Amino acid sequence: MVRARSNGVGLALAGALVLAPDSMFMRLSGYDGASLIAWRGLLMAAVLLSAWAMFSSNRRTDLRYLLTKAGLATSLFYALNAAAFSLGIALAPVALVLFGVAAVPLFAALYSHIFLHESVSRRTYVTMGIVLAAIGYSALDDILALRIGPQIFGALAGLVVANMLAINFVLFRANPNLPIMPCIGLGALGSGAAGAFVAGHTLWTTGQFWPIVIAGGVILPASFYLLSSASRHVHAAVVSLFMLLETALGPLFVWAVLDEPVTDRTILSGAVLIAALGGYLVLDYASTRKPSRRAA
């Protein structure tokens, strides 16, 4: 049990670190919203479905589980998550969208309690509170400037993303037989096809292709496979917490490569977020060195 938990935390941390430069490559590509959805989804689907076809030891059984309600639900929720994230970025400031996404640990804890009857440790709740406060502080100017209109829908899109991610982590935890690669791959294929339909001919005429190849062909499939795998070893709320590392590290990658300014508020909130997750890791490691009844 202790070993499985350690593996889960390690997978979640690895997935979050792989995901961190995603926004930088999105910016480097120069694609618009629909083209981003299309290429990210299609490339991710190609990688995951190809890997599954090559490495699965029992594809027929995998397909049977994929075509269950839970399997199709994970595909649908991933497609909605991908579309909502790109739509939110197009409608509202990035900080507002990420503030909505930051609620994913809370939703994960709620759904885990309702559907799996799992409790969350006080340590996890305290870390959630610190992380949410840090992200809220970073986005404070945009939150205070929020007005009725497209920005509201963009901010709500962040909450949709948080819900979809949380539900998927709980579904993968509750259904250990669900094959992760085809479930996520099918959802990515759906969102990518929808994006391509909307983008039309502009899919081929705008942007740089190589950054989106790295994002859609490497970063997204690797990170979401790791994060989804982690949810089978550790509480979905813990996986969600580590996923928020992108909020702290993403702007630093953009600053380092694109030379976009980073505010003192962003740096401070990112440092607090990283310190909170670092403290969580230290306390979690200490707790695994002695018998514990806590689940998260």
**Rounded to an integer, what is the distance from CA 1 to the centroid of its chain?**
25
Give 77's pLDDT tier (boundaries 50, 70, 90): very high
pLDDT of residue 148: 65
Dist. CA 189–CA 121, nearest whole Å:
37
pLDDT tens-digit profile of 170-192? 999 999 999 999 999 999 999 99
Q: Which of 17-21, 120-124, 150-154, 246-250 has the lowest mean pLDDT?
A: 150-154
- Short-list 101, 96, 94, CA closest to 26: 94
Model-level pTM?
Answer: 0.88
Residue 165 C-beta-side C-alpha neighbours within 13 Å: 31
Domain extents in the chain: 2-288
User: How far is residue 178's CA from residue 181's CA, in Å, rounded to a whole number?
Assistant: 9
Task: Give the three-state DSSP class for 74.
Answer: helix
Q: What per-residue confidence (pLDDT) applies to 252?
A: 83
Top-confidence residue, 131 or 258: 131
How far apart are alpha carbons 247 and 19 in whole angstroms? 10
